[in-house]
Structure 1
Amino acid sequence: MELRHLRYFVAVAEALNLTRAAEKLFIAQPPLTRAIKQLEEEVGVELFIRKPRGLQLTTGGEYFLEQARQILNKVSGTINDTRRIAQHRKTLFSIGFVPSVFYGQLPFMVRRLRRNKNLEIVLHELKTREQVDALKAGKIDIGFGRVRIEDPDVEQTLLFDEPMIAAIPAGSPLTKRPPTLKDLSEWPMITFPSTPGPNFADMTQSLFHRYGLRVNVMQQVNDVQTALSLVASDMGFTLVPEQIRRVHREGVDYMPLDDHSITVPVIASRRKGENPNAVMRLANTILDELVENRLTGRYP
């Protein structure tokens, strides 16, 4: 399979017409038709349903389209990063992160690293599972997430446990006192992300199940910002890490939980067995300082 096959497929999937796709790609239709057929044979499934008035994506085709776009975007981003690094003769240091860890001290780490004029810092928003894959592929140098994932090629370090809090519609009866899990279980819940686990949504729902409580999940969304928007719309509550307090959203109140032992981890992931270079040693030094600030209550 070549990258051109993916580009051809995306063009056809977006146009749902071979003639229009061929015109967009500036190629003749017969070689485009052959390329799509070759791709289907290699993948082993039909990606399109042929109809008299055009094409329709199969279920497999819809999934393949999403993945093909991601692959092409990653290739394009890698090429651009490579050109930028070559032009400036800088060392590239790539960081993967889940959004909920970027409201605390991580931006200060990035800012400190950027003081080194010989460094080019690249950030990638990735789920923890994606961070592990990106580390193994060499796409990132360090990742920050919240989920434990066993992989022989990656080591994970617990930085600290962060209290969980509830984001609640402003004026709700739940804001009168720190709510218990039982209190919350009686209200609609919004979870994130909505992608396959293990993820933060699994962690929050398991809290209720651990105490024999049933939770009414009324909406699953992709990110914390959307979850907070739904909370502000009085659609329900959501559980978030404490550092999300820094996101000031009208219509949302943040409440500590009645049980202060309910926490969520912040985890750093690195390639296992790799001797840290000068940049990684610098990053580790900064990270140690930031973690110490967090553990001792000294916030920057």
Structure 2
Amino acid sequence: MTLQQLKYVIGIVNYGSITEAAKQLFISQPSLSNAVKELENQLGIEIFNRSSKGITLSAEGTEFLSYARQVVEQADLLEQRYLYRKPLKSLCSFSTQHYAFAINSFVDLVTEFDGDEYEFTLRETRTYEIIDDVKKFHSEVGILYMSQFNQNVLSNILKDNNLVFHPLFEASPHIFISSKHPLAHRQSVSTDDLTPYPFLTFEQGEMNSFYFSEEMLSILPRNKIIHVSDRATLFNLVIGLNGYTISTGVLTRDLNGDQIIAIPLESDETMLVGWIENPRLRLSTFAEKYITKLKSHIAHHGFTLLS
């Protein structure tokens, strides 16, 4: 077993397929496949399950990956400390619903990282895809929320996929609107107040369901609904159409400027925001630092940390 073989296995998991890993690792696909197969023969295990649809980590491969990442991280530290060699490109991936504090935490993480090369991934994506990313080890951490409405469904899905939810903070729902919106002067608003205005919601694709909605009170009837796929478009429509969306109330001036404001929504429900992990995979140093950054930003906004 060689260090290079360990790096090959990690690369396949990070890039999602042997084809893409071979391209990124500058090795031919047959050579990469043979190297992994040779490693499996040496260890007497199958690291990957192979089928016509591609490859996935086996149960033994999941455990092996955790150890392999630890070994490669330690080897990189040794090289940097004693051999003065150029460190390998650092890789880390996170998936999240559309939250400003998740972006700010990622910015802090990358800014603090002192490396010549890295390849980090931050996916602002759909709820079900966040769960799928963490399940398949495409992301180490996923960020989403639960409420009284969706908690039973999401908890069962996480349990079925052997994922763990760690609560971060609890927030009352707020609406995000333009600072020039007719309701901008209000201390709070009711759902009836919002009737004349378009409701902006992040579309959830083929897995569309009220339970996967990023916005609370998603089952309420509304006359005007616009589905969007990214945060920039949503905020442009908030300003241009006097639309609104529902979220935690956490806004960041650095990212959102002064044109978007948050106003409390009159509701008895709360949003329990947290992060999910696959416990079969030990978190990398970068993932642990990212969670620390998340907690720092959440506390900075005045919320009580729950874990």
1:244 alignment partner in structure 2: 251
**Counterparts of 2:215 and 2:262, CA distance in 1:** 21
User: Offset at 1:230?
Assistant: 1.8
Report the AA paired with residue 190 of structure 1.
F
Q: Any gaps of 5 or more consecutive residues in structure 1?
A: 1-72
Q: Deviations over 1:179-210 (max 9, x none)?
A: 4223434222322212213333552424xx4x
Quick check: 1:155 aligned with 2:129? no
Answer yes or no: is the 8 Å Cα contact 2:140–2:283 preserved in 1: no
Please, which of 205, 213, 230 is the counterpart of residue 218 of structure 2? 205
SS in 1 for 2:120: strand
Q: How many residues align?
A: 219
- For the 8 Å contact 1:98–1:127, the answer to whether it is kept is yes
Q: What is the TM-score of this pair, normalised by structure 2?
A: 0.56
- Shift, 1:136, TM fit: 2.1
Secondary structure (helix, strand or coil) at the match of 1:166 reads strand
Conserved? CA contact 2:95–2:142, under 8 Å: yes
Rg comparison, structure with higher value:
1
Compute the displacement of 1:127 (Å). 2.2
Structure 1 residues 22-43: Cα deviation after superposition (integer angstroms, max 9, x where no partner): xxxxxxxxxxxxxxxxxxxxxx
Secondary structure at the counterpart of residue 89 of structure 1? coil
| Superposition deviation, residue 146 in structure 1 | 2.7
Residue 145 (1) aligns with residue 120 (2): no
Q: Residue by residue, what CA displacement relative to the aligned partner does 1:156-186 show, whole Å, maximum 9, x if unpaired? A: 1111123433233454431231242234342
1:1-300 to 2 correspondence within 5 Å? 78=21, 82=25, 88-102=87-101, 105-111=104-110, 114-115=113-114, 120-147=119-146, 149=154, 150-152=157-159, 153-195=162-204, 196-197=208-209, 198-201=211-214, 203-206=216-219, 209=220, 214-246=221-253, 247-248=255-256, 252-257=259-264, 259=266, 263-276=270-283, 278-295=285-302
Give the C-alpha shift of residue 88 in structure 1.
Answer: 4.9
Is the CA contact 2:91–2:120 (under 8 Å) kept in the aligned structure 1?
yes
SS in 2 for 1:205: coil
CA contact (8 A) 1:144 1:267 kept: yes
**Which of 1 and 2 has higher RCO (CA within 8 Å, sep 6+)?**
2
Structure 1 residues 144 and 255, CA, compared in 2 at 3 Å: closer, same or farther?
A: closer
Preserved contact between residue 163 and residue 262 of structure 1 (Cα < 8 Å)? yes
Distance 2:301 2:260 in 1: 23
Aligned-partner Cα distance in 1 for 2:265–2:275: 28
Q: Paired residue for 1:26?
A: none
- Ranges in structure 2 where 5+ consecutive residues have no aligned partner: 1-14, 28-71, 77-85
Label 1:109 to 1:270 Cα distance change in 2 as closer, same or farther (>3 A): farther
Q: TM-score, normalised by structure 1?
A: 0.57
SS in 2 for 1:140: coil
What is the distance in 1 between the residues matched to 2:303 and 2:247?
22
